[in-house]
Chains A and B, each alone.
Chain A
């Protein structure tokens, strides 16, 4: 039998339907691969017994003709989604041992459609980071290797680094991610996989550990556009339990993948051609433009004049929202409590949070607290919200001239663990191309489009109009075909050899 872990979700569903293999066999193949790839540290919690039980039930459903759209497919769930009866940590010490008694809407939707959960994937603590090096449970390693520095372990990107690493290493067929400023798209780019941040409100936030509620959005990560489209269809939909979940019908995203992009207007924002942009990234972008032009799309130069203010605005808004959201970790209702004899309530709060949160989380809570405090609220927080409107307006204006926007996903290839940590701002720059899209609430995806001269994957980003995931998926599939990205990460080429 061929290695089942190399199949796409779509191929695996065909195989299951044709009785080429069972979900138990498919799931076991992934559990075995997970055991071989432990050193990547992609999972915080593995749930093999539960997975096999779910796979058995799936096989039974399929034999009875009751299979759902993802029935029997082994997936990983980012450890930010609450999972009933399975530890959910947000990669933070403060939530270590927290076992939810309920299921997040998004992971529940996947289970409803028959998915098998392999485990919970690591992330930057509370999804704050771009390298997956801030997890309390250790760094996650990218399965790809820089061929000119083969000894260096590379970051998978972040915050959904565990999910990206797992999907690239073939130890999950797909995974959930969340994206507040680039946390699905940047790790997808670093690990050579595909990831979509849907329109804000497309997927319910209920049961997802909150970071910045006006920006957080769940989405799928997988190895093809078609697989992402299939997962998104399952994950999306109105949920009365999230007041910002949109009461909109979910289109059949896979049915919309027609590959006909003739006449579509592709916007190229001049402000994204930034000073110091690497030649490689620039070349990849030009290649993407050429592919779409060849397919009959019209290339349009556009301007998003407030682009350079997106990151600083984000680093006011996101920490402000985080400082309120993370106020709930008080050592009373769940998670860690640090309380010594004679301590009063305030001592307990302060000690619990000092020990429970890592450095980056503390920095963001304190920045958020500062910009919301009396005397600074207008100067920082309200100012940033005004900039946010200008950024959203930039996109509205641009979409009068184009249908989709094409940009690079990230300013670099995957870097080595430990790099870009000299000061917090260096790390923040990873999200320079992705963060505006969250501020504007638009859908965006990253698709692997080529390899760097170091042999590492590089992604292109497509940004759509609100609620128009269908068009970026269609254009994304065209890039997928043109790029024919078949390279495998080191961990899998070594295995195959």
Chain B
């Protein structure tokens, strides 16, 4: 599979919403390459007729009646927000 170069690191960092400097990207490239090269040994195993196992939980996910179970706790929800205004979260301007 493809080796990770600096440009790929920057692309993945963008997708991850983590800003990386050029120096950080240079340091990350061999580290990520090392990990990805190591996991490629999984290719040795024949998995053609194997179903993926996403979770070991043997239960089918339960369903509940579609009723409100919680609410009236606006103050709790906003209690840890870095910036709020009149009951809303505040973020930088999104629409010009």
Contacts and interface: CB of A to CB of B under 8 A. Distances in A.
Contacts, number: 170
A418 interface: no
B66 interface: no
Contact of B91 (A214, A327, A348, A387): A348
Contact of A200 (B47, B51, B57): B57
B59 A246 contact: yes
A451 B53 CA distance: 39
Interface string B1-41: 10010001100111111111000000010011011101101
From B28, B34, B59, B76, name the one whose CB has the most chain A CB atoms within 10 angstroms.
B59
Contacts of A343: 92
B55 interface: yes
Given A323-B16, A350-B19, A390-B45, A200 B56 contact: yes
Nearest to A365: B16
In this complex, the interface size class of chain A, counting residues with CB under 8 Å from chain B, is 35 or more
Contact of B79 (A99, A247, A424): A99
Tell me whether chain B's interface is mostly helix, strand or loop, or mixed: loop
Contact of A333 (B31, B52, B89): B89
A365 B83 contact: no
Contact of B42 (A101, A384, A389): A384
B68 interface: no
B53 A316 contact: no
Contacts of A387: 42, 45, 47
Contacts of B35: 315, 363, 367, 424-425
Interface of B: 1, 4, 8-9, 12-20, 28, 31-32, 34-36, 38-39, 41-45, 47, 50-59, 61-62, 64, 73, 76-77, 79-83, 89, 91-94
Given A353-B17, A424-B34, 10 more contacts: A98-B80, A201-B57, A335-B80, A369-B12, A387-B42, A387-B47, A392-B53, A392-B56, A439-B56, A440-B56
Interface of A: 97-102, 200-201, 214, 240, 243-244, 246-247, 306, 308-309, 312-313, 315-316, 323, 327, 330-337, 339, 343-351, 353-354, 357, 362-363, 365-367, 369-370, 373, 376, 379-380, 382-390, 392, 423-425, 439-442, 466
